[in-house]
Amino acid sequence: MDNPRAIIETYVSDVISRLPRRQRHDVGFELRSLLNEDLDGRAADSGRPADAAMALELLTAFGRPQEVADRYRPAGFTVIRPADAPRFARLALGGLALQWAITLPAAFTSPAQADGWIYADSWWGRLTTWWLSWGLGSFWWPGFLITLTLISAALGRCHGEAKPWTPRRTVDRDHVNRPATVAGLAFGAAGATIMIALPWLAVWAPGLPQPLLDAFAIDPRFLHARAVWAVPLWAAGFAVHAAVLLTGRWDRRTRIISLALDLAWLALLTWWLTGRIFTTDAADEAAKFGLLLVVPLVIIDFVVTLRRTSASIRPPLLQA
């Protein structure tokens, strides 16, 4: 096709065919006039008559017909706003990756679950079993987010326009919340005390029923080889938070130490998940389930601390 006007006419037809019928006439008239005027201007600037190559260059810069039609299409029911799309994608894919990162290693370290399948204990048999259970099952998270987003969009549409924008108070993220830090230290000390005293439960409370004592009996190999590493990590974390509590602020050094401790805890928890913790199966499974719930919290703390470490320290600009 060598006629530049015919090329523009074909382009306009492609655009308006994607629009509701009530818009096609007005949009077609407006778009046709705009493109022909732009083509005449390009021809005058170049000092030569308009040709097919010039028309194609103009239309390529103007956009694909579907994109142009979207500009003219009336705003409808928006589920995810374009500005929120990157954050939604990170949250959806991040949650999916987190579930895979937790369940995939467990699929290769736990006993094979497929009874009667001779390949259940092979690497690809375990991978197949994982994919048909936790792998595909993890897609509940993006679907759950989509459902929440649909409900939120529907409620927002029913309630009309949102509240007008008002400036928010800038938060100093390096400032220490002393009550929360004290509470965290207290809970951490209590948890460490319980875990350290648990192997001596029969000595400290000999009057407890024997089935209860047997249920909380820790595997000796775990106690001597893997559990002991929690003590220095607890002590280091307690020291860091105590130092931050005294100074009243986080600084780059304390955040870097906190990052290192998070990585150490992730490595230690992963090591714990690969072997037996309690001697009884029920207590061991319950303990590992609890550790699987702790791992995402440590990862979240690591990500938040990493972002705050890399960000510049900005004091509050507005006072409450």
Give tens-digit pLDDT for 198-227.
777 777 777 778 777 777 788 888 888 888
The separation between CA 107 and the C-alpha centre of its own chain, rounded to angstroms, equals: 22
Over 90: is that where the pLDDT of 80 sits? no
Report how far residue 237's alpha carbon sits from residue 243's, in angstroms, rounded to the nearest whole number: 10
The lowest-confidence range among 35-44, 95-104, 186-195, 299-308 is 186-195
The lowest-confidence range among 74-88, 119-133, 257-271 is 74-88
Query: If you count DSSP H runs as helices and E runs as strands, how many of each does the chain have, helices first?
Result: 15, 0
The lowest-confidence range among 76-80, 103-107, 176-180, 243-247 is 76-80
The reported pLDDT for the residue numbered 290 is 87
The reported pLDDT for the residue numbered 44 is 92
The reported pLDDT for the residue numbered 35 is 93
315: pLDDT confidence band, cut at 50, 70 and 90?
very low
Q: What percent of the chain has pLDDT over 90?
A: 19
Sequence length of the chain is: 320
**pTM score:** 0.48
The reported pLDDT for the residue numbered 312 is 45
Report how far residue 132's alpha carbon sits from residue 137's, in angstroms, rounded to the nearest whole number: 8
Report how far residue 50's alpha carbon sits from residue 43's, in angstroms, rounded to the nearest whole number: 5
The reported pLDDT for the residue numbered 156 is 67
133: pLDDT confidence band, cut at 50, 70 and 90?
confident
Give the model confidence (pLDDT) of 57-69 as tens digits: 999 999 889 888 8
Mean pLDDT of 5-28: 90
Going from N- to C-terminal start, the domains of the chain cover 4-72, 82-159, 178-310
Report how far residue 307's alpha carbon sits from residue 262's, in angstroms, rounded to the nearest whole number: 14
The reported pLDDT for the residue numbered 262 is 93
